[in-house]
A and B are shown apart, each in its own frame.
Chain A
Amino acid sequence: MLLIHCPYCEEDRSELEFRWAGEAHIARPENIAAISDEEFAEYFFLRNNEKGLTYERWRHIHGCGRFFNAARDTVSDRFLTTYKAGLPKQVLPETGASEKTVETYEATEGDAR
């Protein structure tokens, strides 16, 4: 179970208090009524699904109720930072180390060092 830092409550709380809310920094097009079918499909359906550093949204649904953003490594599930909604994307270095330090079946099950 993840431990998540809510940037509004400024506390580390259990994942049970939060709801994941998909990829972050996808703005609803201002002129949404006018965009093409392709643009709509991209806005509504296409996601990066990164293996590694990902930017995502969480909501402290059983706490303050606020949506916020997080940067997390999807291989180690480690949070690099969380920050309030509306703030620009926090630029972070790629967490190259994670692949080496954590289990994936091709790592631990394939070969140890």
Chain B
Amino acid sequence: MSASSNSGAYRIKGAGRLTPARTARFTFDGKSYTALEGDTVASALLAHGVHLLGRSFKYHRPRGILSAGPEEPNALIDVSRDAARRQPNVRATVQEVFDGAKIASQNRWPSLKFDVGAINNLFSPFFAAGFYYKTFMWPREAWVKVYEPFIRRAAGLGVAPTEEDPDHYASRYAHCDVLIAGAGVAGLTAALSAAATGQSVFLVDEQPQVGGALHYDAATTIDGQNGYDWAQRTAAKLRAMPNVTVLTRTTVFGYYNHGFLGLVERVTDHVAKPGKDLPRERLWQVRAKRVVLATGSIERHMVFANNDRPGIMLASAARTFLNHHGVAVGRQVGVYTAHDSAYEAAFDLKRAGVSIAAIVDNRPDPSEALLAEARALGISVLSGHAVTDTGGRLRTSSMTVARNGGGDARKIAVDALIVSAGWTPSVHLFSQSRGKLRFDEANQRFLPDIYAQDCVSIGACNGTDDLAELIGEAIAAGGGSVALSGENRFEWTGGMIGAAEGAGPDTTVKAFVDFQHDVTAKDIRLAVREGMHSIEHIKRFTTNGMASDQGKLSNMHGLAIAAEMLDRPIPKVGLTTFRAPYTPVTYGTLVGHSRGELFDPARKTPMHALETAEGAEFEDVGNWKRAWYYPKRGEDMLAAVNRECRTVREVAGVFNGSTLGKIEVVGPDAAEFLNLLYTNAWGNLKPGKSRYGIMTREDGFVYDDGVVGRLAEDRFHVTTTTGGAPRVLHHMEDYLQTEFPHLRVWLTSTTEQWAVIAVQGPKAREIIEPFVEGVDLSNEAFPHMSVAECSVMGAPARLFRVSFTGELGYEINVPADYGPAVWKAIWERAEPMGACLYGTETMHVLRAEKGYIIVGQDTDGTVTPDDAGLAWAVSSKKPDFVGIRGLKRPDLVREGRKQLVGLLTKDPNVVLEEGGQIVVDPNQPKPMTMLGHVTSAYWSENCGRSIALALVAGGRARMGETLYVPLADRTIEVEVTDMVFFDKQGGRIHG
């Protein structure tokens, strides 16, 4: 056997553009086949006479290959290289064969040829559109337990991958002057024209090669050359130009605002052994100044009884398989058409030696030129006839033909039936760009009308049928001038939308409109009868156009049938909106590099590695990784935290405070600016001193807090919460730039410029003293809430005497690069003195022992300074600050607001649950009246008991009151107290 016969008995010698010597092996449902390089799975299987590729969604009807492109609704397959690289729902008409590909059919059990689900076909009278809305309601529980699981198992086509995808995906951004979508005659010509002007051009086509319709249309010549050859030469010429980027196997899937387009490039799905460093697909996000849409048109099927059997396909598809892949779709082929183009498919097949049973033309008067050619080729044409039915189980075996209106019915044996109802312009991208369509009554199609973006449609997608006109349009769209001429053999006319004669009356006949979802003409009619008069209602009720092909074939037919039923003109019934993507896009491609560590890059402090080396466990706080606690061998979290808490108060602890937000506020009006942004007064704060500040928004609720140090008359070092820094800076900039632009102030984020090392505890001074130059650290010279610029280990530093633990404490700010060295030196000195490293958990416990709040934990966006016990920080003397008015609103000053208080459990060993709700009477019926909730709760090793903070309605008036916290499994009795649990006199902080 020759190589070509290896690659299939239906391969026609001398036909097509593939090279017979270059073969690839693949399996389909376990059986091995030989294909030629350049075959799609569809063409390769057809070459072996395999038409049955899948089962439909609802009725499990046998289905074959309908198209030769991305509009394919039927031939969906599962493609795998290995267990982890398995892809469901792939269109066999797009997937190129590669050596070793494992292909499987879907939605069938136990096998494609014998599928138990096909029993649904027998019960199909029950499964009319929308039947599930009318039943499955009794008994009530049965929907969840019985009906829905059954429906779910039946639905869905492919099986989701079960392993993590090992492939990787790339992402690129690009800009260009002109992006041209589609590289057929129109797109290539526009590209030549645009490129000649020197503009930067992107030419994009979804197929492996340029050429578009020239793949099947072998009769067209451009500049006297074979059209397809001209296309390849033109692409080569364009590729060689520095201002042109030609992308094939690349789909423009979305046209978004302001000239922004999404493209997906398939890089390795057609390669047998892709290099490991190649991405599987690449996402291009292109901003184009102008877009030229040359997206062509898609042939429609005819709607008639049993029009879905394997072997029935679009005429242009049969022509592609013949002229491009060298494959005949049958030996005895019938033709059913309402458009001229199917004639040329029949002529090509006949010339290649395929027998044409008959051309059945729904139109009474096909053009004389076509009839003459048919006669010359010996093909019989039945004009004014319809195909009223087909026969065959797993493959078409016959078509029943009758005169329009009935009569002369006869059955004709065929092994394939090619159909054409005409061509639907691909206006998807135009619609996505939010352009508006008009209905072309004469040709029964929607065409671009009003453009919403800088964009132009050319060629078939613009309804331009004449080749010369098309070329002129394309040259104009490119903006340059090119000399080009084209010739084709026949002018195409005709076409119909809606149910053909053969769809039968409104009976039980199944004339499919949407193949994948098994939507028939009678389903559309039923929807209209049930009151669905908008095309959107009809779509949703029948699911027409909602399958994975998104109605590329079915939308126009569905619309026409509905319009006929409603007796309204098509434009009045409307058109469903075309949504992105044009064809389905892999999640992984859209994700690109944004996975794992790059998904949301973690922020790490300069001391992160040192903390890790000391055995720290980390927690996520905002985007930061913060050291949570430092367990020693054998310690669990509680034991570690207890030790850290004890050690800080007995000796000292070292804490990484670098994540604290920091903003430098500088300028002659800096103090005035802070007066306006914080509730506190700042004018009387002297350089060298710091103060705790509260920030509210205009609404008067606590927004952020932090210590602010005044370094000089015109310079403040502002700190914010860890998570709050960006929004606080944004908030400050907003007021500075737009409300208080007269103030001479400059703001700089310094969060990442300073590493912050806090040393807290009785021995804090002793620990840091040797490292600090230029500051007298004595209590008298540098008391609590002092700040100084100095030098630490020779590095420029800012030293705060400040405490979030209630102990003698310092926070050393050094430039981030010096952080690790200073941290290391301090720890080397502190450790032998019996100090510890401590993390955020210990920090939380120690501050709670002192009743210091954490904004965002003990407050939420509904807490006023007074609610939080911070009324002292709200100046009553300032004429204005952000929040001054909001604070006075009726609800913010009413009695009984929730106030922050302390809680002590009656049993000191019980630790409350943070988030526990507080009630007066735990035995009241539900819904209970809740007074508030526990905001912080810890075991306090230093107090030898549990402690908690809580927001409680009227809390400060409830001191000593007994309340209850009912949890899922028990109720905890608590007493309301003040918020300070340790060192109530506060002497320790002053060292």
Contact = CB atoms under 8 A, between A and B. Distances in A.
Q: Are A and B direct contacts in the complex by CB distance below 8 Å? A: yes
A112 B287 contact: no
Contacts of A19: 730
Interface string A52-67: 0000010101000111
A79 B32 CA distance: 58
Contacts of B534: 109-110
A111 to B, nearest CB: 5
A102 interface: yes
A109 B436 contact: no
Contacts of B890: 37
Contacts of A40: 885-886, 889
Contacts of B449: 113
Contact of A109 (B287, B577, B886): B577
B431 interface: yes
A79 to B, nearest CB: 8
Contacts of A103: 431, 434, 436, 452, 577
Contacts of A85: 737-738, 741
Contacts of B879: 33
B770 interface: no
B880 A67 contact: no
Interface string B415-445: 0000000000000000100111111000000
A51 interface: no
B55 to A, nearest CB: 32
B450 A101 contact: yes
Interface stretch (B37-45, B256-264, B406-414, B711-719): B256-264
B756 interface: no
Contacts of B577: 103, 105, 108-109
B734 A32 contact: no
Interface residues of B, number: 45
Contacts, number: 109
Interface string B717-757: 00000000000001001100111010000000000000000
Contact of B733 (A2, A43, A67): A67
A113 B436 contact: yes
Interface in A1-42: 1-3, 14, 19, 21, 27-28, 32-33, 35, 37, 40
A1 B737 contact: no
Contact of A112 (B256, B446, B730, B880): B446
Interface string B799-823: 0000000000000000000000000
A110 B287 CA distance: 30
B889 A37 contact: yes
Nearest to A39: B885
A78 B259 CA distance: 11
Interface residues of A, number: 38
Contacts of A109: 534-536, 574-577
Nearest to A44: B698
Nearest to B741: A86
A50 interface: no
A61 B438 contact: no
A37 B439 CA distance: 55
Interface in A64-113: 65-67, 76-78, 85-86, 100-103, 105, 107-113
Contacts of B699: 44
Nearest to B285: A1
Contact of B258 (A3, A28, A35, A101): A3
A33 B535 contact: no
B897 to A, nearest CB: 17
B574 A111 contact: yes
Nearest to A37: B889
A32 B436 contact: no
B287 A59 contact: no
Contact of A1 (B257, B438, B536, B886): B257
B130 interface: no
B572 interface: yes
A2 B257 contact: yes
B438 A112 contact: yes
Contacts of A43: 698
A113 B452 contact: no
A67 B734 contact: yes
A104 B738 CA distance: 34
A1 B575 CA distance: 25
A62 B86 CA distance: 40
B954 interface: no
Interface in B5-45: none
Contacts of A35: 885
B885 A32 contact: yes
Given A32-B880, A107-B436, A111-B572, A59 B733 contact: yes
B884 interface: yes
Contacts of B452: 76, 101-103
B437 A112 contact: yes
A113 B438 contact: yes
B571 interface: yes
Nearest to B739: A28
A59 B732 CA distance: 13
Given A32-B885, A67-B733, A3 B260 contact: yes
Given A33-B885, A37-B890, A44-B699, A113 B259 contact: no
A33 B534 CA distance: 54
Contacts of B572: 111
Q: Which of B730, B884, B885 has the most CB of A within 10 A?
A: B885
A12 to B, nearest CB: 9
B439 A76 contact: no
B681 to A, nearest CB: 15
Contact of A61 (B258, B576, B730): B730
B257 A77 contact: yes
Contacts of A28: 698, 739
Q: Which of B259, B535, B737 has the most CB of A within 10 A?
A: B737
A109 B540 CA distance: 13
Interface in B563-597: 571-577
Contacts of B737: 66-67, 85
Contacts of A3: 257-260, 287
A94 B798 CA distance: 56
Interface string B771-803: 000000000000000000000000000000000
Nearest to A57: B738
A81 B452 CA distance: 17
Contacts of A61: 730
Given A109-B535, A111-B572, A67 B439 contact: no
Nearest to A107: B436
A14 B222 CA distance: 41
A67 B738 contact: yes
Contacts of A100: 436, 450
A23 B699 CA distance: 17
A3 B256 CA distance: 11
Contact of A44 (B434, B730, B880, B886): B886
Nearest to A67: B737
A37 B885 CA distance: 9
Contact of A113 (B258, B285, B437, B885): B437
Nearest to B432: A103
B259 A108 contact: no
A108 B575 contact: yes
B692 to A, nearest CB: 24
The 3 closest A-B pairs by CB, nearest first: A3-B258, A103-B434, A102-B434
Given A57-B738, A86-B741, 10 more contacts: A2-B257, A66-B737, A76-B452, A85-B741, A102-B434, A102-B452, A107-B436, A108-B437, A109-B536, A110-B534
28 contacts: A1-B256, A19-B730, A28-B739, A33-B885, A37-B890, A40-B886, A40-B889, A66-B737, A67-B733, A67-B737, A77-B257, A77-B258, A85-B737, A100-B450, A101-B451, A102-B452, A108-B431, A108-B436, A108-B577, A109-B534, A109-B535, A109-B574, A110-B574, A111-B573, A111-B574, A112-B436, A112-B439, A112-B446
Interface of A: 1-3, 14, 19, 21, 27-28, 32-33, 35, 37, 40, 43-44, 57, 59, 61, 65-67, 76-78, 85-86, 100-103, 105, 107-113
